[in-house]
Amino acid sequence: MTRPERALRILHILRKVYPEVHCELTHSSPFQLLVATILSAQCTDARVNMVTPHLFQKYPDAHQMATARQMDIEKLIHSTGFFRNKAKNIRRASIAIVAHHGGEVPRTMEALVQLPGVGRKTANVVLGNAFGLDEGIVVDTHVARVSQRLGLTSQHDPLKIESDLMKLIPRSAWTEWSHLLIWHGRRRCFARRPDCAHCEVAHLCPSAKKFLTHAKG
């Protein structure tokens, strides 16, 4: 079986395993998803979802966030880590959105990555989940780890991993693929001790035998 054939088979199986797959960052607008994604850097989605209700209650949109004091944002997001830099980027991005985009989150990769604190990964999250635009594949720690273990890439740089995956997965499934690997990474293919014995795609994974042998030993 070729690598592209194996990738499509994995996609087919994971769709059945996680039929309810979705973005786990709670949001009610593209702007809120953008902010939540910025907060998710070096932080769990669960922690972000504990913080954002209070943050969005006070600053629900770009206009409100742009007028906030950085120290007030910092207090609300403190527990997400790196809170000073995140607060600065959120405020500056909000100001840019109001000044250059009429208060609405832009819908292009080019415009999004020009916002403070927004890189390609964050832009992919927003484009795919807020606007239904498959411009790329989100590569976080879970996507990188699972893709490498599945033998779909040997790269370690996120951009190179994304490039490899985009060649294997149909464009219409790029956003979905990211979610599937993230869910699988959180529920089965753990960083330290992957549950290969119960993994639904272990028979398609070149790393499974190694982990299973190690577990027995």
Which active-site residues does the annotation give?
Answer: 121, 140
Spatial separation of the C-alpha atoms in residues 116 and 93, rounded to whole Å: 5
Write the DSSP string, 134-182: -SS----HHHHHHHHHTTS----SHHHHHHHHHHHS-GGGHHHHHHHHH
Collect all residues with Cβ–Cβ distance below 8 Å to 162 and sequence separation of at least 6.
120, 136, 137, 139
Helix (H, G, I), strand (E, B) or coil at 59: coil
Spatial separation of the C-alpha atoms in residues 3 and 76, rounded to whole Å: 45
Report the residue count for the chain.
217
- Structural contact between residues 26 and 36, judged by C-beta atoms closer than 8 angstroms: yes
171 exposure class (CB count in 10 Å sphere: 0-12, 13-18, 19+): exposed
- Structural contact between residues 60 and 68, judged by C-beta atoms closer than 8 angstroms: no
| Residue closest to 27 by CA, chosen among 15, 43, 39 | 39
